[in-house]
């Protein structure tokens, strides 16, 4: 291989990586840029494991590759946060659950900070991510919705059963008076 062929293959490889990052960003419902300076490998591993449990991901990618990838996504406004060591938190399903995990991790490990993020086209800062973490999660909202949907049926069932229950109480009262 000549030097030109080697440099072209390296450039092509970087382009492929940028496309892969861009594809991940396209799939993400929320993306956050963090600074991880000072975290140990064990802490990073724990963070990745906890994020994976809520359909999230933590990636450390070179800023130059991310700049290329951002050009093709709705997260282009995050380019201003690409200074120094940056890590990316991507949420693929429930951004609220991911925010809860991330905020809890930040409370335990102050060395991880959120530089900024995007959720549904809106820019986020660390305080807004904390507010998002206070919201009820998808499972909690679905449980409340189910309870609201079942309430009218339960009330109707009680209403239908009440006349029969009154008759039973009346007959029981008559039986007790005849016995007494």
- The pLDDT, as a whole number, for residue 11 is 55
pTM summary value: 0.71
pLDDT at 2: 46
Q: What pLDDT is attached to residue 137? A: 77
Q: Are residues 54 and 116 in the same domain?
A: yes
Give the residue-averaged pLDDT of 109-135. Answer: 90
Which residue segment(s) compose the domain that 170 sits in? 136-180
Position 135 pLDDT exceeds 90: no
Statement to judge: residues 90 and 13 lie in one domain? yes
- Mean pLDDT for the chain overall: 86
Q: Is the per-residue pLDDT at 180 higher than 90?
A: no
* Count of structural domains, the chain: 2
For 79-109, the pLDDT digits (tens) are 999 998 999 999 999 899 999 999 999 999 8
Quick one: pLDDT at residue 126? Answer: 86
pLDDT confidence of 113, banded at 50, 70, 90?
very high
Q: Are 48 and 131 in a shared domain?
A: yes
Residues 81 and 127 in one domain: yes
pLDDT digits (tens, 9 = 90+) for 19-76: 888 889 888 999 999 999 999 999 999 999 999 999 999 999 999 899 988 886 888 8
Instruction: Annotate the chain with DSSP letters as a single string.
Output: --HHHHHHHHHHHHHHHHHHHHHHHHH-SEEEEEE-TT--HHHHHHHHHHHHHTTEEEEE--HHHHHHHHTTSTTGGGGGG-SSS-EEEEESS-HHHHHHHHHHHHHH-TT-EEEEEEETTEEE-HHHHHHHHHS--HHHHHHHHHHHHHHHHHHHHHHHHHHHHHHHHHHHHHHHHHH-
Indicate if 158 and 169 belong to the same structural domain. Answer: yes
Taking only the tens place, the pLDDT of each residue in 4-22 is 444 445 556 777 888 888 8
- 37 and 57 co-located in one domain: yes
Identify whether residues 152 and 120 lie together within a single domain: no
């Amino acid at each position: 291989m000549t030097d030109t062929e080697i440099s072209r293959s390296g450039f092509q490889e970087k382009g492929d990586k940028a496309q892969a990052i861009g594809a991940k960003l396209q799939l993400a419902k929320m993306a956050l840029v963090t600074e991880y300076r000072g975290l140990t490998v064990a802490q990073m591993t724990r963070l990745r494991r906890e994020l994976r449990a809520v359909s999230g991901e933590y990636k450390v990618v070179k800023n130059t590759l991310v700049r290329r990838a951002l050009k093709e996504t709705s997260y282009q406004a995050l380019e201003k946060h690409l200074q120094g060591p940056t890590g990316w938190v991507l949420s693929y399903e429930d951004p609220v659950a991911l925010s809860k995990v991330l905020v809890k991790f930040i409370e335990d490990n102050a060395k991880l900070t959120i530089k900024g993020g995007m959720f549904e086209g809106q820019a986020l800062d660390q305080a807004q991510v904390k507010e998002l973490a206070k919201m009820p999660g998808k499972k909690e909202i679905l449980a409340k919705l189910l309870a609201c949907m079942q309430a009218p049926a339960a009330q109707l069932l009680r209403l239908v059963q009440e006349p029969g229950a009154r008759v039973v109480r009346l007959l029981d009262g008559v039986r007790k008076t005849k016995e007494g």
